[in-house]
Amino acid sequence: KQEVTQIPAALSVPEGENLVLNCSFTDSAIYNLQWFRQDPGKGLTSLLLIQSSQREQTSGRLNASLDKSSGRSTLYIAASQPGDSATYLCAVGGNTPLVFGKGTRLSVIA
Amino acid sequence: GAGVSQSPSNKVTEKGKDVELRCDPISGHTALYWYRQSLGQGLEFLIYFQGNSAPDKSGLPSDRFSAERTGGSVSTLTIQRTQQEDSAVYLCASSFATQYEQYFGPGTRLTVT
């Protein structure tokens, strides 16, 4: 059974800092990995999707990497801003629909 | 274009009552998913539909939960004889097909009193 772990559970950084969020999964037989953002009381916003054949994807200040063989993904956020404060969720897609980690709650302090 | 929409946004019901939650997927998306997000439990898969295939119900927690998708578009999740442990946010997502990027709706917050 696929299990997804996100570390750290919470992170607080000053504005402008670069940061890395970590995601690990137990079964490397995946089709893709998706990073989401969730604001309090809201649904999920898709940030980046990495197919299993890809190593990384970039969107603006966000860069996500995937190392399928080691069961790891990272989300890099450059020059963090207070508006980046949210919970970031990693989800792995395989033979079954997405399996989610419990998320990292990010606070960017102005 | 319009995203995934869900209704109602909030639902408060008494224990033992039945509830119906609705999801309108993005037009043209053949795959539709239901997830549940509970405090301390994270997001868990409930059921998904792909085109005209039989739905994957493997995530439904009990036989009180059921879902249907009419005409390959709108979906309704029904919870019969609600219990307090059913209180959660129910999220719907759709994608062009399975293994494609999933887009989520805003969710329905269900509170069972």
Q: Which chain B residues are within 8 Å of A91, Cβ to Cβ?
A: 43
Identify which of A46, A96, A99 has the shortest CB distance to residue B102: A46
Q: Which chain B residues are within 8 Å of A59, Cβ to Cβ?
A: none
pLDDT confidence tier of residue A94, bands split at 50, 70 and 90: confident
Pair of tokens at residue A29: 């037989």
The per-residue pLDDT for B57 is: 92
pLDDT confidence tier of residue B64, bands split at 50, 70 and 90: very high
The per-residue pLDDT for A35 is: 97
Q: Which chain A residues are within 8 Å of B107, Cβ to Cβ?
A: 42-43
Residue B1 has pLDDT above 70, yes or no: no
Cβ of A100 within 8 Å of Cβ of B43? The answer is yes
pLDDT confidence tier of residue A11, bands split at 50, 70 and 90: very high
Plot region of B9 (φ>0 → left; ψ -120 to 50 → alpha; else → beta): alpha
The per-residue pLDDT for B100 is: 85
Round to whole Å and give the CA distance between B90 and B46.
9
Cβ of B104 within 8 Å of Cβ of A89? The answer is no
Q: What does the pLDDT average to over A40-66?
A: 94
